[in-house]
Every structure is written in C-alpha cells, then in structure tokens.
C-alpha cells in the first residue's frame, strides 16, 4: 500500500493547470510545424505560422495559448494499492484546479448549473475521470478542453451492419459539419464500441494520446491512418478556410460492445491540444 498526500496532489494539479495552458505539448508543436510544410493553401500556411508563433509567445511570455482555458478535464490512473491521506481525492483535484486558475490568471469558464448558468468563479468543478488500475500507480493527466471544440462532439448508435464504412462516414460528417468551429487542425478522437455513455469516454480518452502514436492493434492503427487521409481530403483546412490540413491526427479507442450495437463517438480537440501529465 502506497500513501499519497492530499497537499501533493493539490500542488501538482495547480502547476499542471498553469503549465498546460502556457506550454503546448511538444508533439503538437512539431505536428504544427510539419503541417506548415505540407499545407498548400497560402491562407492555411499563414494561419499555421500564426499558430506556431502563438505557441512560442505563450511559452515565453506566459500568456495562455488560448483565452478559453477550458474545462479542466482530469484523468487519473489510480492504482488499487494507493491510499490518499489527508482528505478526499476529488477535493484535492478541485483545490488544485482552483489555485491554478486563480493564480495563473486563467479564464474561469464554468457555470454551476446548465440552465441557471451562474459562473463558479474559480473554474471548478473539474471534470474528473478515475480509471482504476493494478498496483501503486498514481498518474494524472490534465487536459484543459475548450468549448468551441467540445461543442462539435457527436455520438451515434449505429447498426452493426453499418460496419467500418458507417464509422468512417460518421467521422467525416462530424468533421465537415464542425468546419471552422473547433479551431482546426487539432486531433480527432474517435470512440468505437462500449455503451452509450462509454463510447463518449473512449473518444475523450483518445485525445490523451500523443500525436503520431498509433493504436497498438494494427487493424485500428491502419484505420487511424486511413481516416487521417480521408479527413485531410475534406478541404476544411486550417481554421476552416480551406486547405490540406484539417487535422493533425486521428486517434481511435475501442471497447467490447453488445451484439446489437455499434456505438461511435467523435470528440474533437483544437490546435490548442493542451495536455500535461504527472506521476506521484
């Protein structure tokens, strides 16, 4: 049994929220540079150069990459032999988010209630997913998720007969309809299988994987590459103004499903694909 202290979770969460909003992950930064080499549209190239410069300014000047500093999505891989000492894990996460968003001058974008819409003032509550894993691991990923891209997410319960073609069609349709709104090019997260609620979570989980890392199953690795090619043939382009690069990558996560079901979900991330992980 390993013990992890409440205060350590708070402090690390705080720092991760700030770092994530100022420092674009290296894989995303490199993918933007690679995209600049490939893009044919002059306006698309202009935008990609702006995005690279933007990431540079954010990192050196300590200004958020984007003013929408997002919902604090917090993914915890929690070993079953880990014990949190000094308080409730969720409270520690929320306290870290509160401190990070206040002290980092990040925007507070959370309303307490979806219809009465009063801002909570400190960007809490965080949106927490806990994945129970064997052993003594305590690994946390913070993914500040912008509203513009989150709002373009879609989910469908397809028929098994729709098969892989149905999935491809659904993904392409989602990206095309999203157009400029999710600030392309970013990452397309695709969930396939599981249940109605589970498939959305798979799509979100797909956004945690670094750009260029393929699904371990060759079948899905190939499907990712095929979808990447198809999405980048849509013409949507950087910021939806037309071009070759509509997404930097496509990531798929899959799970077992019922004999009657083929759930599929698309969760889009923007070019500000912010992500910081730490382990305690």
Binding site for other proteins (CB under 8 A): 40-44, 46-47, 50-51, 53-55, 57-58, 61-69, 105-108, 119, 146, 148, 151, 172, 179-181, 183, 230, 233-237, 239-244, 270-272
What whole-number distance in Å separates Cα of residue 270 and Cα of residue 30? 15
In this complex, which beta carbon is closest to other proteins, that of residue 97 or of residue 254? 97
Minimum CB separation of residue 38 from other proteins in Å reads: 12
Q: Is 146 in the site for ligand SF4 (CB under 6 A)?
A: yes
Per partner kind, with CB cut-offs from 5 to 8 A, the member of other proteins, ligand SF4, none near residue 191 is none
Per CB under 6 A, the list member of 4, 29, 45, 68 interacting with ligand SF4 is 68
Q: Is 148 in the site for ligand SF4 (CB under 6 A)?
A: yes
Minimum CB separation of residue 271 from ligand SF4 in Å reads: 6
Minimum CB separation of residue 16 from other proteins in Å reads: 17
Q: Is 248 in the site for ligand SF4 (CB under 6 A)?
A: no
Q: Is 182 in the site for ligand SF4 (CB under 6 A)?
A: yes
Q: With CB under 6 A, what is the number of residues at the site for ligand SF4?
A: 12
Minimum CB separation of residue 59 from other proteins in Å reads: 9
What whole-number distance in Å separates Cα of residue 280 and Cα of residue 28? 25
Per CB under 6 A, the list member of 21, 149, 232, 267 interacting with ligand SF4 is 149
Minimum CB separation of residue 207 from ligand SF4 in Å reads: 12
**Residue nearest to ligand SF4 according to CB distances in the complex:** 146
Within residues 249-278, the interface with ligand SF4 by CB under 6 A covers: 270-272
Q: Is 185 in the site for ligand SF4 (CB under 6 A)?
A: no
3-state secondary structure the chain: CEEEEHHHHHHHHHHHHHHHHHCCCHHHHHHHHHHHHHCCCHHHHHHHHHHHHHHHHHHHHCCCCCCCCCEEEEEEEEECCEEEECCCHHHHHHHHHHHHHHHCCCCCCCECCCCCCCECCCCCCCEEEEEEECCCCEEEEEEEECHHHHCCCEEEEECHHHHHHHHHHHHHHHHHHHCCCCCCCEEEEEEEEECHHHHHHHHHHHCCCCCCCCCCCHHHHHHHHHHHHHHCCCCCCHHHCCCCCCEEEEEEEEEEECCCCEEEEEEEECCCCCCEEEEC
Binding site for ligand SF4 (CB under 6 A): 66, 68, 70, 146-149, 182-183, 270-272
């Amino acid at each position: 049994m390993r013990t992890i202290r409440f205060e350590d979770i708070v402090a690390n969460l705080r720092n991760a929220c700030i770092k994530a909003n100022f420092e674009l992950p290296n894989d995303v930064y490199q993918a933007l540079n690679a995209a600049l080499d490939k893009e044919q549209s002059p306006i698309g190239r202009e935008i990609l150069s702006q995005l690279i410069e933007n990431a540079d300014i954010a990192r050196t000047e300590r200004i958020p990459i984007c003013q929408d500093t997002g919902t604090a999505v917090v993914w915890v891989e929690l070993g079953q032999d880990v014990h949190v000492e000094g308080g409730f894990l969720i409270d520690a996460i929320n306290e870290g988010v509160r401190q990070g968003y206040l002290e980092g001058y990040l925007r507070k974008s959370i309303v307490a209630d979806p219809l009465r819409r009063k801002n909570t003032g400190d960007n809490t509550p965080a949106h927490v997913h806990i994945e129970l894993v064997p052993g003594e691991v305590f690994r946390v990923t913070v993914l500040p998720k912008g509203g513009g891209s989150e709002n373009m997410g879609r989910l469908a319960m397809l028929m098994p007969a729709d098969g892989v073609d149905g999935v491809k069609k659904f993904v392409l349709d989602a990206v095309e309809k999203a157009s400029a709104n999710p600030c392309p090019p970013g990452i397309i997260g695709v969930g396939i299988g599981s249940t109605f609620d589970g498939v959305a979570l798979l799509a979100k989980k797909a956004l945690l994987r670094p750009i260029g890392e393929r699904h371990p199953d060759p079948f899905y690795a190939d499907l990712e590459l095929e979808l990447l090619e198809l999405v980048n043939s849509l013409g949507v382009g950087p910021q939806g103004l037309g071009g070759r690069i509509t997404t930097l990558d496509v990531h798929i996560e899959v799970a077992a499903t019922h004999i009657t079901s083929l759930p599929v979900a698309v969760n889009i991330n923007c070019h500000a694909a912010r992500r910081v992980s730490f382990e305690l």
